[in-house]
Every structure is written in structure tokens, then in C-alpha cells.
């Protein structure tokens, strides 16, 4: 491996360790990074030391740690990095630029597909493939299979399985027939800005699966023919013989059932949904979104945060439901401020101090911690207000709200007749609780949301990007919600919410 000092600029960084009468200095590589993520993780992992490491290189977007080894993987523009526990570079892989076009069928080896005439025809393209930057969209560790899952924006959002030790690319295992269906190959968004979120969870069968959510990213008439076939939500296999293909496909004479859900073709281009994060809790899977409260093109509407729920044993998203998630705070003037835009969220198991402060009825189980902002005049070019809040929801409360919604559906309540943007039947009496025969539904936006007051509110702070950092320190589990301040050039700031350690933190 090329020596680290030959590929990166090194700057000397003075570190003062606290809790000691003497001042100790040592020198570390100085990373300079346009996003916050590396900065946050360094601050967290070396507490109580104060360390700033900056990275000089392409923009970074994703970071994940293998909890079994402590090795950290970082993804960004055209690069993957492997760091040790001390955040020293172990390996680096180039992932781009690649010869590609978003107007072409995804064929990484398009010049060597002649073995199958039909696949070769798919891979031929009327448009030129040019050197295209590859932006990392999903980065996950699957320790059970010993693979690193890395999905990028090239080749219509294709994913790769890589060896955890060497980061070498592994075979997808897809058959030639499976490669001919773009739904098995195009997994995430195919541009830099459109959102993609994924997580690994127990599936309907004995194995874990990959749940993926992606924003529609068809930017031209030529690319729409491909992007309209990429599901909004999908459950994908991680088994070697069909890695990243749709987990379940049933071809019936009258209908085809897929482990995926799509937006309506007449809504998909203008009704864009931003996926913030996804996770599993108990026997349910969840995605959190930010989207408009109106589907109509004529009435743009304001932004709202929603939570999607579907059952872990659900092969075909028949148990799909979504409801609004609301975070509010009473202002100094006495009126209620709606922090309507979720920026980051995480499910944790709270420690005793947090339980005593917020949950008078005892231990709540899993709780959802979210960082929200408010947005003025959403959808009409307004600027974000300089306010943020952190809200905490119990997953038990969220599940109760979903159950209430399903009961309303059984009663034929017209206000839950469907969101108007999914390719699925609306609410009916066939919609049932997990484990039963059921039909998909989406809740209308006028349905009462799950709502919690902000536990803290912050002035002159606008959150951007994602937050992933947790650390157990002494008696506490620290949650670091860090964001780059977008006002007055204030640089970086970390906000720490402290929870007494009641169990291991989620990473």
C-alpha cells in the first residue's frame, strides 16, 4: 500500500489532554473536509481529548464503523477509505470517475457483454458514455457476511459488495437473466443530490435483507425510461446468488408482485420525497421522510415530516402505512413553533437519567431522537428560519398511532383513504395488522400526527446533512448531533445531548 504521507498533506496539530497536570503534545495527520462527518467522529471517538483532524481530498458523504473490529469506512466522491481505530489510513480505493451515462442501461463492463446477445443489446447505447464522478450514496457493514455494501451514483445507482478486510469488489452473483431487469441492478439515486437511505434488517425469511429508499432522480426524458423503474422502497437480497436483486418476485398471470413499492407515474416527476434515515425496531421497519403536504402540482404545499412503517415479515409491503411526525416548541412569545423539517434521527435505548427526565411512566423501550428545523414559506422560495429543536418520541407511542390509523381505516374513515402518490390500493377494510392478509395504504396528511414538544430549541442554527455519532463515556451515552452552521460563517459546532448509559449505544 502506498505510504500515507505520500498521498496526503500532513500538518502538525497540537493536542492538549485534560485531566493531567502536565500538557502533552503529539502530532497527527490534519484532515481538511468540506463536510462535518469526519470531524464529528474524531471528536466523539477520542473524548475526553480535544482533537481536530481535517481531510484534504474529495467531498465525503458517508461513514460507518465495523463494531466488531473498530475499523471505520468512509465514502465520498470517487473514493472509499478504510481507517483503523485511531483513524489512521489503512487503505484507499478509487470508485470513479467511470465511463457512464445516466441515459444508458447500467453496464459496468459494457464492452465485454457480447456473450449474451440480449444483454449486449441492452448495454449498447445511443448516447456517449463519458468520465462520470461516482458519489457514494449508501455505505453499510454486514459483519455476518463479511462484506461492505457500497452503492454509488454511477451505473444508475448500482451497489457493490466489497471484502471487509481488503475492500476488493466481490461478484454480485446475479444471473444473466437477472441482470436484464433494471430493477435488480439500479438500487439508489443516480446523482449527487437525490437522497438514498438503506439499512440491514431481518427479512421475511431466515436471512437478513437490505431495505432501500431512493428519491426519484430522472433528470431528462432519456433517463426517465430507467429511473421510473427504480422503486421508491425496496427489499433486496443479500444472498450471494442474487445480491441486491429484489428479494421476492412473483409473476402471476394477472399480476406481478414485487418486494418493492412505487410512486404513481403521474406523480413521480414532481412529487419528490427526501428520505432522511431508516431503521428497524421490534418487528417493524421504518423510514423517515420529508415531503410536501399536497400532491397537487397546482398547490405546492409546505414541507412535512412523515414516518413509514411496514412489518418485518411482509414480503410485498402490504402492511405499508405512513403518518406525520410533528415536533413543536413554545416560543418566548407564547406561540407554538412547528419544526416541520427533519434533518437527522436515530433510534436509541435511553439511559436512566433521560428516563427520569422525560418518561414518568417508566422505561419506554426504544426511543426516536430527531433534530428538526422550521422552514418559512415552504415551497415558495422562502428561506429557512434560524431555529432548530430536538424531539424525542417513544416507538411505543408511534406504533400505537399507527394502530389507531389502521382501526380508522377498518371503520371506513374517508380521511385515511390514501396519500394519492403510491401505486397501491387505498385504505380499505382489508388493511390489517402485521401477519394477516392486508392491502397497502397511505395516510392522508390531515390525519392527526404523532407529536412531541422539543426537549431543546436552538436559535440561529440550521442543521444540514446527517448525524451518526454515539459514544459510551463513563456513566453516559453521548449523542452528538453535529452540523455545519450556515449563518455568519461560524464554522463547525457540536451539540451534545447526554444520556446516562442504560445499555450499549447504537452505531
Mean of per-residue pLDDT scores for the chain: 75
Higher pLDDT, residue 416 or 91: 91
- Tally of domains in the chain: 1
Dump the DSSP string for 232-296: SEEEE--SGGGTTSBS-EEE-SS-EEESEE-B-TTTTTT---EEEEEEEETTEEEEEEEEES---
Q: Is residue 373 part of a domain?
A: yes
Q: What is the DSSP letter of 69?
A: T
Q: What is the pLDDT of residue 318?
A: 83
| Beta bridge pairs of residue 260 | 234
Q: Is residue 268 part of a domain?
A: no
Q: What's the average model confidence in pLDDT over 328-343?
A: 83
pLDDT over threshold 50, residue 476 = no
* Diameter of the chain measured on Cα atoms: 78
pLDDT over threshold 70, residue 376 = no
Q: What is the pLDDT of residue 174?
A: 87
296 φ, ψ (degrees, to nearest 5): -60, 135
Q: What is the pLDDT of residue 335?
A: 79
Higher pLDDT, residue 26 or 57: 57
Q: Is residue 378 part of a domain?
A: yes
Higher pLDDT, residue 363 or 460: 363
Q: Residue 415 in contact with residue 480, Cβ under 8 Å?
A: no
Q: Which long-range contacts (CB under 8 A, 24 or more apart) does 148-154 make?
A: 148/73, 149/198, 149/200, 149/210, 149/238, 150/75, 150/80, 150/95, 151/187, 151/188, 151/196, 151/198, 152/95, 152/96, 152/188, 153/188, 153/189, 153/190, 153/191, 153/192, 154/96, 154/98, 154/100, 154/190
pLDDT over threshold 80, residue 184 = yes
Q: What is the pLDDT of residue 466?
A: 39
Which residue's entry shows cell 463494531? 67
Q: Is residue 476 part of a domain?
A: yes
Give the range of the structural domain holding residue 361, as residue numbers without chain letter. 326-507
Q: What is the pLDDT of residue 412?
A: 65
Q: How many residues does the chain have?
A: 507
Q: What's the average model confidence in pLDDT over 353-375?
A: 85
Name the most confidently modeled range: 236-240, 291-295, 349-353. Answer: 236-240
Q: What is the rounded radius of gyration, in angstroms, for the C-alpha atoms of the chain?
A: 23
Amino acid at each position: 500500500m502506498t505510504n500515507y504521507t505520500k498521498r496526503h498533506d500532513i500538518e502538525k496539530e497540537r493536542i492538549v489532554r485534560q485531566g493531567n497536570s502536565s500538557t502533552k503534545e503529539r502530532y497527527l495527520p490534519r484532515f481538511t473536509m468540506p463536510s462535518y462527518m469526519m470531524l464529528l467522529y474524531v471528536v466523539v471517538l477520542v473524548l475526553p481529548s480535544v482533537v481536530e483532524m481535517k481531510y484534504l481530498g474529495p467531498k465525503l458523504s458517508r461513514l460507518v464503523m465495523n463494531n466488531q473490529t473498530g475499523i471505520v469506512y468512509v465514502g465520498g466522491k470517487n473514493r472509499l477509505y478504510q481507517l483503523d481505530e485511531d483513524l489512521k489510513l489503512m487503505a484507499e480505493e478509487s470508485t470513479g470517475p467511470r465511463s457512464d451515462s445516466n441515459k444508458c442501461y447500467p453496464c459496468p463492463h459494457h464492452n465485454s457483454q457480447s456473450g449474451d446477445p440480449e444483454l449486449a443489446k441492452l448495454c449498447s447505447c445511443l448516447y456517449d458514455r463519458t468520465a462520470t464522478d461516482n458519489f457514494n450514496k449508501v455505505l453499510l457493514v454486514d459483519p455476518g457476511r463479511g462484506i461492505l455494501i457500497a452503492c454509488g451514483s454511477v451505473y444508475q445507482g448500482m451497489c457493490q459488495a466489497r471484502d471487509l478486510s481488503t475492500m476488493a469488489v466481490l461478484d454480485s452473483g446475479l444471473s444473466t437473466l437477472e441482470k436484464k431487469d433494471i430493477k435488480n441492478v439500479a438500487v439508489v439515486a443516480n446523482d449527487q443530490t437525490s437522497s438514498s437511505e438503506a439499512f440491514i434488517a431481518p427479512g421475511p425469511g431466515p436471512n437478513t435483507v437490505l431495505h432501500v429508499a431512493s428519491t426519484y432522480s430522472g433528470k431528462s426524458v432519456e433517463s426517465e425510461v430507467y429511473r421510473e423503474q427504480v422503486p421508491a422502497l425496496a427489499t433486496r437480497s443479500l444472498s450471494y446468488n442474487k445480491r441486491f436483486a429484489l428479494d421476492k418476485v412473483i409473476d402471476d398471470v394477472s399480476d406481478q408482485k414485487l418486494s418493492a413499492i412505487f410512486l404513481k407515474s403521474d406523480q413521480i416527476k414532481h412529487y419528490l420525497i427526501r428520505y432522511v434515515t431508516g431503521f428497524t425496531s421490534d418487528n417493524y421497519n421504518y423510514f423517515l421522510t420529508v415531503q410536501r403536504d399536497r400532491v397537487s402540482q397546482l398547490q405546492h404545499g409546505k414541507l412535512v415530516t412523515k414516518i413509514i412503517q411496514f412489518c418485518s415479515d411482509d414480503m410485498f409491503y402490504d402492511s405499508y402505512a405512513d403518518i406525520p411526525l410533528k415536533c413543536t416548541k413554545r416560543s418566548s412569545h407564547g406561540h407554538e413553533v412547528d419544526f416541520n423539517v427533519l434533518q437527522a434521527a436515530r433510534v436509541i435505548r435511553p439511559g436512566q437519567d433521560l428516563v427520569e427526565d422525560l418518561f414518568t411512566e417508566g422505561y419506554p423501550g426504544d426511543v426516536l431522537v430527531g433534530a428538526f428545523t422550521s422552514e418559512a414559506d415552504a415551497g415558495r422560495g422562502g428561506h429557512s428560519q434560524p431555529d432548530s429543536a430536538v424531539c424525542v418520541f417513544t416507538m411505543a407511542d408511534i406504533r400505537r398511532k399507527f394502530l389507531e390509523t389502521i382501526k380508522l381505516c377498518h371503520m371506513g374513515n374517508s380521511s385515511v383513504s390514501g396519500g394519492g402518490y403510491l401505486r397501491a390500493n387505498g385504505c380499505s377494510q382489508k388493511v390489517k395488522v402485521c401477519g394477516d392478509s392486508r392491502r397497502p395504504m397511505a395516510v392522508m396528511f390531515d390525519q392527526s400526527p404523532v407529536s412531541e414538544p422539543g426537549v431543546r430549541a436552538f436559535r440561529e442554527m440550521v442543521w444540514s446533512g446527517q448525524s451518526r455519532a454515539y459514544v459510551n463515556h463513563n456513566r453516559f451515552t453521548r449523542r452528538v448531533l453535529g452540523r455545519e452552521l450556515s449563518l455568519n460563517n461560524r464554522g463547525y459546532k457540536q451539540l451534545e445531548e447526554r444520556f446516562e448509559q442504560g445499555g450499549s449505544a447504537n452505531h
